[in-house]
Structure 1
Amino acid sequence: MSINYVQLSPHHFDAVIALGNQVHGDNYLDENSLTGLYQCSWSNNINASWVAVLTADELHKLNVSSLRNTPDGYLIGFRLTIASNQWMPDKWCSPLQWDVPREHVCYFKCNTVDAELRGRGVGSRLLKKSIVTSKQQGALAGVAHIWLASPGNSALSYFKACGGKLVKEHTNRWQQYSIEDSYDCPVCGVLCQCTAAEMILKFNQLAQ
């Protein structure tokens, strides 16, 4: 199967929104929120966000949606990463427990892979791509809030396998989005009560 990895660009937006809302729930992403995340992916003229696309000759193997066609191929996954100098920790973050200066910590916002193609290393490859470009931006580590209600708790297992360490668990992490942005959680419905695991991945501890 031929999968290409390219840095996120505006011509991927419609496909990223379609896949993100399919996996994470309605109103998880829209054009305004994704535009803001894309702009925050950049630092030192380097983009830390990536997408995975499948070539046209492989599409017959999937239940495809025309919404996910892009000039680079059929979008099957994406990793949204905010540059270390483009965000500030909020109440859901514990920077005193990171053991890395906050100004050198990027934020892993979202990693999403088509359900039909999970288990093939796509998510890990997207993360590795983001780590490389985040390091080029000056980051020494990345923080993520891992969705503990993911099927089989696969998100936690995946991030641990990539080197992530648990910092703290946060209840009702995404509830404000249900209230303010009409986010429809695929587990809880209209009022999300899911718990997030705040995790840190230190780049100097990763195998080269």
Structure 2
Amino acid sequence: MTPSIHMNRIVQSEINYEQLAPAFFAGVISLGNRVHGDNYLTDDLIADYYAKSFIGTTNASWVALYANKVVGFRLTFAHTQWKADEWCSPSLWPVDPNTVCYFKCNTVDPAMQGYGIGSTLLSKSIDCARNQGAEAGLAHIWLASPGNSAFKYFTKNGGQLIKKHPNKWRYASIHEGYDCPVCEGYCECEGAEMLLQFQAP
């Protein structure tokens, strides 16, 4: 075994996964804003997202911890806790829209990429969403991510492109204080509406 592979396995063994809880809010906000831009997450938003993660006692949102620090998170809304908006195309979805959860955000600290954190978070969220009664998950993928990595990642995991939406986050940049990390002025980034159907366990 080469030293790099050995170190990789050591790091992976020290990453802990926990369902999202208020104790992790500050770390999630800090990481989310550092990666996606200022005001991407706020105290009010994370509290709202947390509430939408539940059906009963089952929570579909997860965090990854390394050395007691949040190094990744996936925020997932239960299928009964969100409504399709103008950026959604339910008539094009190959499943009942009432059985679709929403993958709000997946974020991994750039320094911790390559350890399988994103895939593990996705798997855990899918398991919980399926237990809640969901048959698929919808996401709006940021097409301006470096190397278009977000789109490639979601596609690799089974995501199907439904439709592309220009200026997906423009409203947030104008009215909610969101500061896009790649656009000067108001955000003009394109979002890809993608659906991932869950396989039977």
Fold similarity call, TM over 0.5: yes
Counterpart in the other structure of 1:60: none
Q: Are residue 166 (structure 1) and residue 161 (structure 2) matched? A: yes
Matches of 1:137 and 1:44, distance apart in 2? 9
Instruction: Give the CA deviation at 1:123.
Output: 0.4
TM norm structure 2:
0.92
Instruction: Give the CA deviation at 1:78.
Output: 0.2
Instruction: Give the CA deviation at 1:6.
Output: 0.5
Counterpart in the other structure of 2:38: 26
Stretches of 4+ moved more than 2 A in 1? none
For 1:189, give the aligned amino acid: E
Matches of 2:181 and 2:45, distance apart in 1? 19
**Counterpart selection for 2:113 from 90, 113, 118:** 118
Instruction: Give the CA deviation at 1:103.
Output: 1.1
| Deviation per residue, 1:27-70 (Å, 9 max, x gap) | 00000011000000001320000000013xxxxxxxxxxxxxxx
Instruction: Give the CA deviation at 1:200.
Output: 0.2
Query: Number of residues paired by the alignment?
Result: 189
Matches of 1:146 and 1:138, distance apart in 2? 23
Instruction: Give the CA deviation at 1:189.
Output: 3.3
Instruction: Give the CA deviation at 1:25.
Output: 0.1
Counterpart in the other structure of 2:28: 16
Matches of 1:160 and 1:21, distance apart in 2? 24
Counterpart in the other structure of 1:129: 124
Instruction: Give the CA deviation at 1:204.
Output: 2.4
Counterpart in the other structure of 1:42: 54
Alignment RMSD: 1.0
Asked if the contact 1:168/1:199 (under 8 Å) is kept, the reply is yes
Matches of 1:145 and 1:156, distance apart in 2? 9
Matches of 2:129 and 2:147, distance apart in 1? 29
Matches of 1:186 and 1:41, distance apart in 2? 27
Q: Are residue 5 (structure 1) and residue 31 (structure 2) matched? A: no
TM norm structure 1:
0.89
Matches of 1:190 and 1:51, distance apart in 2? 31
Instruction: Give unmatched runs, 5+ long, in structure 2.
Output: 1-10
Instruction: Give unmatched runs, 5+ long, in structure 1.
Output: 56-72
| Deviation per residue, 1:123-160 (Å, 9 max, x gap) | 01100000000000000000000000000000001001
Asked if the contact 1:182/1:190 (under 8 Å) is kept, the reply is no
For 1:6, give the aligned amino acid: E
